[in-house]
Amino acid sequence: MAKFIHISDTKGRDANVLFTGFSKKSKIKYFTPNDEEVQTLRVLKTTLNGSYEKLIKQCGSEPELAKLLISQDPEIDFFQTGLFVNGSTKVFVNSDFQPCITVNLKELVYDVQGLLKEERTPKEMQGNILEEVAIKPSGKLFPKSEVYAKFVFSKKYQLSHVNGLTFDFLYQLSKELDEKKSLMLIGSGEKGVGPLVFQNGGKAYRAFLEGRIKENGYILILHLSNLELKSAITQ
Amino acid sequence: MARLVKFNIGTESFDAAINKLDRDKVYGWIETVATDSAGNTCLTASLLNDGRTMVGSGGIAQKTLDSNNVEVDKSTLVAKLPDMSLAVLQPSIYEQPVTLILASIEDLLDLDVTAVYELTFDDLEIKSKMQSKFLGNAVYSFPFNYRSDYEAADAFMLFNGSVFFILTGNKNQFKFLTNEISEPIVVEETEVSEEELDFGML
């Protein structure tokens, strides 16, 4: 589904244009030996009352838990086990397995070696692609012949026009980048070097624009990356 | 000793091990800890849509069912393509040599990367021989299956000057966008007297 993004070009002109992501669906379908198509559904195995965590607390030891499992089948809820699950919400429960009304969240930041570097309060990222101030090109160019070996582009969106004026706007931007054979860093903030967050609570990404031109057509791609191509083994 | 994958480039073969790379290994990681008002650590659970049933970790399973909602043994399933022909199992990269085909940087830039692997070599001579195939920013593409599967991921191999990487994922087919106006509109100057502009009729 296409969504809007507020973007400016290298001349400082800005517009709301559409961006679209692509997801590949599997072509393979599975059938029973009787040629009946199968479906995959989420099924309830056991409720929190039948979970290992609750039962081990109740029994005190694994041998006691084993005895209970054999004698009473407490891990099976005969009214609910096997029901289809069509949606759920994440909740926090306390040591008595009751929902917590107040929860304090803390982030523990570890380095590559697994050493605790920092403790901090989590900060929810706010979406910044449709702000009053448009995201803008930073002016920093990365030649295609170099950038492909620097960053991992895990996500891509194609930008598209919504009318004749935005066609011209995006075509010119694509043409400029196509001629330079480079990707341009684009982002939030005054210099256009800040990360992009596509929705509240979403991940932050560095973004790069790539333009391609063929006759009267254009392709303008927003490449997103949160990982550099660095060796983890030598580190 | 790590399992090796045999890569073929032209008539030459190169053996290398592949090691998965992710953010945790490059930058470290973050754990979120929740505590209740008494300072005790909380567990996470799922509250089902009925608003009262709570489910712990591992309490929900994905099941394959037939039209009567009876669980089906996955080993009996038959995989088919959209034209209803039987799908053929593609081998794992460990099962047979992988042939690399020269590709363009733009092909690589079309890839939505889902996994990254770093290559390591038992013999550095193999690495230096392989480097000679990656001169002039050469990149290679190939189908990738870590395990045998009916569908292979798109994959590219590149060299960044010191390390070989494999990027796997889905290659997008971007389409060139054009403006759908067939001809530019030409505005011709016409003579209109001001008397013709009847404001009274508005």
Which residue of A28, A152, A228 to mutate against B (max B Cβ within 10 Å)?
A152
**Residue A188, helix vs strand vs coil:** strand
Q: What token pair was written down for A42?
A: 């989420």
Q: What pLDDT sits at residue A201?
A: 92
**Banded model confidence at residue B1, pLDDT cuts 50, 70, 90:** low
User: Which residues on chain A are in Cβ contact (under 8 Å) with B114?
Assistant: 154
Of A50, A148, A161, the CB nearest to B108: A148
- The full set of domain ranges for chain B reads 1-22+88-196
Q: How far apart are CA A77 and CA B56, in angstroms?
A: 13
Give the model confidence (pLDDT) of A86-102 as tens digits: 999 999 999 899 999 89
For residue A234, what is the nearest residue in chain B, using CA coordinates? B163
Q: Which amino acid is at A94?
A: N
Q: Could you report how far apart the first and last alpha carbons of chain B are, in Å?
A: 88
Of B43, B59, B65, the CB nearest to A44: B59
Q: How far apart are CA A6 and CA A173, in angstroms?
A: 14
Give the model confidence (pLDDT) of B81-110 as tens digits: 999 999 999 999 999 999 999 999 999 999
Q: What pLDDT sits at residue B168?
A: 98
Q: Is A123 exposed, middle or buried (0-12, 13-18, 19+ CB in 10 A)?
A: exposed
The overall longest dimension of chain A from CA atoms, in Å, is 76
Is-contact A144 A183, C-beta < 8 A? Answer: yes
CA distance, residue B15 to nearest chain A CA (Å): 18
pLDDT over 90 (residue A8): yes
Q: What pLDDT sits at residue A235?
A: 43
Give the model confidence (pLDDT) of A129-154 as tens digits: 999 899 999 999 999 999 999 999 99
Q: Which amino acid is at A79?
A: F
Question: Using CA of residue B23, residue B24, residue B26, residue B28, what is the dihedral sign?
Answer: positive
Residues 6+ apart with CB under 8 A from A173: A9, A10, A209, A211, A220
Q: What pLDDT sits at residue B183?
A: 62
Question: Using CA of residue A127, residue A129, residue A132, residue A136, what is the dihedral sign?
Answer: positive
ipTM: 0.89
**Banded model confidence at residue B185, pLDDT cuts 50, 70, 90:** low
Question: Using CA of residue A118, residue A120, residue A126, residue A127, what is the dihedral sign?
Answer: positive
Of A103, A104, A145, the CB nearest to B105: A145
Angle (CA) A140 A22 B28, round 5°: 60
Rg (CA), chain A: 26
Is-contact B91 B145, C-beta < 8 A? Answer: yes
CA-to-CA separations, B98 to A19, B128, B170, B174, in angstroms, rounded: 36, 19, 18, 27
CA-to-CA separations, B107 to A144, B47, B112, in angstroms, rounded: 12, 44, 11
pLDDT over 90 (residue B59): yes
Q: How far apart are CA B8 and CA B142, in angstroms?
A: 10
Give the model confidence (pLDDT) of A50-70 as tens digits: 999 999 999 999 999 999 999
Question: Using CA of residue B90, residue B95, residue B99, residue B105, what is the dihedral sign?
Answer: positive
**Residue A77, helix vs strand vs coil:** coil
Q: What pLDDT sits at residue B187?
A: 66
CA distance, residue A115 to nearest chain B CA (Å): 9
Q: What pLDDT sits at residue A25?
A: 87
pLDDT over 50 (residue A106): yes
**Residue B125, helix vs strand vs coil:** helix
Q: Which amino acid is at A65?
A: L
Question: Using CA of residue A147, residue A148, residue A153, residue A159, what is the dihedral sign?
Answer: positive
